[in-house]
Amino acid sequence: MDYFAQQLINGLVLGSIYGLIAIGYTMVYGIVGMINFAHGDIFMIGGFIALISFLILVSFGLTFVPLILLVVLLVSMAITALYGWTVERIAYRPLRHSFRLAPMLSAIGMSFVLMNYAQVSQGARVKPVPPIITGGYTLHESADGFNVQLSNVQILVVVTTVILLGIFTWLVAKTRLGRDMRACEQDQTMAALLGVDVDRTISMTFVIGAALASVAGMMYLLYYGLVDFSMGFIAGIKAFTAAVLGGIGSLPGAMLGGLLIGLIETFWSAYFSVEYKDVAAFSILIIVLIFMPTGLLGRPEVEKV
Amino acid sequence: MAKLAHAAAAPAAAATVGVGFILKKALISALVALVLFSLMIGVRTEAGPEGGLIYWTRFGDLAGMVGGVFVGSIVVELLRMWWGPVDTAKMMPAGARKTLGLAGRVVAPALLIFTVLVPVIFYNQRYILDLGILVLTYVMLGWGLNIVVGLAGLLDLGYVAFYAVGAYSYALLATNFGLSFWICLPLAGILAAFWGVILGFPVLRLRGDYLAIVTLAFGEIIRLVIINWQGLTGGPNGVSGIPRPTLFGIPLSPGPNGLAAHLGIPFSPTHRLVFLFYLILILALITNWATIRLRRLPIGRAWEALREDEVACRALGINTTTTKLTAFATGALFGGFAGAFFATRQGFISPESFTFQESALVLAIVVLGGMGSQLGVALAAVALIGGFELFRGLDQFRMLVFGMAMVLLMIWRPRGLIGHRAPTVYLQHKQAISSDLVKEGHG
């Protein structure tokens, strides 16, 4: 039971990270109708920028951890958001009205560009960081020596995710920008006729998605203590799986899917085999698409002739 | 008419766009670049000698990059002014069509004759022969994937899985049971086709992007299973000692039983290279021939109909299930053949050869070739693999350049080099149209 509880905590933390990335996929898919293949690499870039800004702040002699974390969070969100904006501007906007394969291939190309850009500029080796946040709580002590631990990093990851999700939900539900985004999702031409700046709204979607991905990158860095130029690919596919599982286009669905994928992956590693955890995640994707193509919270897609 | 007016207005518009506008745009680009590159280029991190991370600054590089973006932005703006608004011609003019048709008739046989003569011309240049074999392997893969993506319109991002199945089938059958290449080749193809059907079943109901992501996941699953099933596949260490192909039982080796001894000529290692070259050429041509013939059969026409509009297809009584499954199986079959050839050429295979990048490369070849055009795919394979070889010196920049090229090509020619539809059935006279005119459904 203790082992189960521990895995549950681990799975929820991992799931929060996946959920943050999945929101970017689901938003872009909802509005533009394309899989933003480069999104996983945006997450990786976010991790790198968090790492570098963290190193610089520490070398300047800053020691107050909450302040460091806040500055790193803001810097990496800002710069990564600009990456998201640039990627959309360069690779997707010229292809907005092209045939359906073109933006997808352009996105795959962009994913290679970002991945190898990180490799060339920062080197191919894994970058480890010492634990920044230490300590935690022991929730339950058992007789056989296995204690259920909840570390401060895990609390931080979950709390940050919940706060961001709250801000984001408010943004989509209550603000002008959110209304524009929902309008573009339904009908771009009609939205444009009614005075919505479609280009700007789509840009903002990418910016927000990238900002959330950068937070996920920073959380990954804090939780696992390393970044690596190739980590975006697998994380990206899993987050996309999460988005599909939850129902693509649905924001609560993305978060729910992220949590489920995190839990499935963790429990699979814990009870079956670590080697096949990615296979499990991908098999889930295939099974979900066969039996529930619209996901858990998605709307059924009706094709009109 | 409207287009003409547009073109006439272009120089006038260009005149009003002043130096100020260009400078402003370039400045903004440079500013964006400064922020983007500030941390990633300006600072370099590395694990230090004591295990902790250290960093050092590279402001020179950063300044160079930002300056490059500034200048590049000005150049791009000037070029855009020079060319005016880019608009692709929707309907090819009659003259152009005639020239293109003639070129199409001449280029393909000329290329084929040249390819057949390559081992004769470059007999002593091992490097060129090796490169030729590599290019032909990709031509074959491109033609195989073209059946799935180009003809049937099913976006497959996991084609490398079938390549891997073919390669491992041959490698394992040959090393474990001692079967010869010529027995294993069809077996590898059949096994790959079998996996194609297995993948095909679950994805029958999926369309477009969903299909793409599931095929990608499938490709990754195959790779991960190969890595982790160490008892069978040797895991990350791969399979080595794969037997070389024989000319129907006669090995291409020195010694009394070799081909050279039979023919009474001195042995040379180049013989095997030439043999491999012709082997892959024949395999590729079989793929091409099968595709051309299949296009004229009901099944091929059903594929193309499926690509254009699935709903209409079903309304006309085409069984979309079998149509999709045969497309996957046929594409996978040729992927399996190519895989078996790859295994026998290398003599060693490992999961590293079957990554997603490989799938993306083959897909890029098909799309760049114009999705459905056999000649286009061959030309695209030559261009891409040749380009890859050109950048071999810049090893770590290779994938970076490849990615950029993919983005730029998509922006420049989203329909590929030869983006047209050549119908197999026509009224009165054959007429190819630009594929920009075709509104593809979601296959």
Decide if pLDDT at B336 tops 60: yes
**Per residue in B231-248, pLDDT tens?**
888 888 888 888 887 777
Nearest to B415 among A55, A99, A110 (CB): A99
pLDDT of residue A150: 85
Residue with more model confidence, A22 or B8: A22
Rounded CA gap, A11 and A19, in Å? Answer: 12
Nearest to B32 among A86, A118, A278 (CB): A86
Distances (CA, A) of B332 to B164, B185, B194, B367: 10, 13, 8, 18
Chain A's closest residue to B150, CA to CA, is: A101
Neighbours of A218 (CB within 10 A): 30
pLDDT of residue B144: 93
Please list the alpha-helical segments (H only) found in B347-438.
356-368, 374-390, 398-412
Record: contact B212-A35, CB cut-off 8 A:
yes
Residues of A in contact with B225 (CB under 8 A): 279
A277 — pLDDT class (breaks 50, 70, 90): confident
- Taking residues A17-37, what's their average pLDDT? 89
Mutate to test the interface with A, among B29, B43, B151, B394 (most CBs of A within 10 A): B43
Nearest to A113 among B43, B360, B404 (CB): B404
pLDDT of residue B86: 54
Nearest to B209 among A35, A82, A303 (CB): A35
Nearest to A127 among B45, B364, B371 (CB): B45
Record: contact A35-B40, CB cut-off 8 A:
no
- Taking residues B71-100, what's their average pLDDT? 70
A44 — pLDDT class (breaks 50, 70, 90): very high
- Taking residues B295-311, what's their average pLDDT? 88
- Taking residues B207-234, what's their average pLDDT? 85
Contact between A36 and B23 (Cβ < 8 Å) = no
Residue with more model confidence, B351 or B426: B351
- Taking residues B387-416, what's their average pLDDT? 81
Specify the DSSP class assigned to residue B355.
S
Record: contact A113-B36, CB cut-off 8 A:
no
B91 — pLDDT class (breaks 50, 70, 90): low
pLDDT of residue B95: 65
- Taking residues B82-103, what's their average pLDDT? 62
Mutate to test the interface with A, among B406, B420, B438 (most CBs of A within 10 A): B406
Decide if pLDDT at B157 tops 60: yes
B2 — pLDDT class (breaks 50, 70, 90): very low
**Per residue in A168-179, pLDDT tens?**
889 988 999 999
Residue reference for tokens 């793929």: B287
Give the torsion sign (CA, B53, B56, B59, B62): negative
Q: How far away is chain B from the Cα of A177, in angstroms, using its nearest Cα?
A: 23
Residue with more model confidence, B153 or B249: B153
Residues of A in contact with B360 (CB under 8 A): 108, 112
Nearest to A282 among B46, B217, B414 (CB): B217
Chains A–B, number of C-beta pairs less than 8 Å apart: 181
Record: contact B220-A237, CB cut-off 8 A:
yes
Residues of A in contact with B208 (CB under 8 A): 100
B3 — pLDDT class (breaks 50, 70, 90): very low
Residues of B in contact with A75 (CB under 8 A): 39
- Taking residues B335-350, what's their average pLDDT? 92
Decide if pLDDT at B332 tops 60: yes
pLDDT of residue B200: 84
Give every CB contact of residue B196 below 8 A, 6+ residues apart in sequence. Answer: B162, B328, B329, B330, B331, B332, B333, B335
Residue with more model confidence, A303 or A29: A29
Mutate to test the interface with A, among B148, B213, B363, B439 (most CBs of A within 10 A): B213
pLDDT of residue A200: 92
Decide if pLDDT at A242 tops 60: yes
Record: contact B396-A119, CB cut-off 8 A:
yes
Record: contact B396-A120, CB cut-off 8 A:
yes
Give the torsion sign (CA, A48, A49, A54, A60): positive
Q: How far away is chain A from the Cα of B49, in angstroms, using its nearest Cα?
A: 13
pLDDT of residue B246: 76
Mean pLDDT for chain A overall: 87
Q: Say how many residues make up chain B.
A: 443
Nearest to A82 among B32, B43, B212 (CB): B32
pLDDT of residue A260: 92
Q: Which of A243-257, B207-221, B301-315 has the lowest mean pLDDT?
A: B207-221
- Taking residues B44-60, what's their average pLDDT? 79
Specify the DSSP class assigned to residue B152.
S
- Taking residues B179-199, what's their average pLDDT? 90
- Taking residues B357-371, what's their average pLDDT? 86
- Taking residues B16-43, what's their average pLDDT? 84
Record: contact B214-A240, CB cut-off 8 A:
no
Contact between B192 and B341 (Cβ < 8 Å) = no
Record: contact B45-A275, CB cut-off 8 A:
no
Nearest to A293 among B38, B210, B411 (CB): B210
Chain B's closest residue to A293, CA to CA, is: B206
pLDDT of residue A11: 92
Q: What is the DSSP string of B196-233?
A: HHHHHHHHTT--HHHHHHHHHHHHHHHHHHHHH-HHHH
Residues of A in contact with B155 (CB under 8 A): 101, 104
Whether pTM > 0.90 for this model: the answer is no
Residues of B in contact with A244 (CB under 8 A): 210, 213
pLDDT of residue B7: 45
pLDDT of residue B84: 62
Decide if pLDDT at A49 tops 60: yes
Distances (CA, A) of A60 to A68, A196, A225, B68, B440: 11, 45, 21, 30, 57
pLDDT of residue A141: 74
- Taking residues B124-149, what's their average pLDDT? 90
User: CB-based burial of residue A132 (10 Å sphere; 0-12 exposed, 13-18 middle, 19+ buried)?
Assistant: middle
Residues of A in contact with B224 (CB under 8 A): 275-276, 278-279, 282
pLDDT of residue A13: 92
- Taking residues B22-46, what's their average pLDDT? 87
Residue with more model confidence, B148 or B52: B148
Record: contact B399-A116, CB cut-off 8 A:
yes
Nearest to B410 among A29, A102, A129 (CB): A102
**Cα dihedral A256, A262, A266, A271 in deg (nearest 10):** 40
Q: How far away is chain A from the Cα of B334, in angstroms, using its nearest Cα?
A: 23
- Taking residues B250-275, what's their average pLDDT? 75
Contact between A43 and A214 (Cβ < 8 Å) = yes
**Per residue in A79-137, pLDDT tens?**
999 999 999 998 998 888 777 778 888 998 999 999 999 988 888 888 888 777 777 78
Q: Which two tokens stand for residue A55?
A: 């190193």
pLDDT of residue B343: 93
Rounded CA gap, A147 and B67, in Å? Answer: 56
B4 — pLDDT class (breaks 50, 70, 90): very low
Query: Which run of H or E residues covers position B54?
Result: strand B53-57
Record: contact A121-B40, CB cut-off 8 A:
yes
Decide if pLDDT at A18 tops 70: yes
ipTM for the whole complex: 0.85
B6 — pLDDT class (breaks 50, 70, 90): very low
Residues of B in contact with A293 (CB under 8 A): 205-206, 210
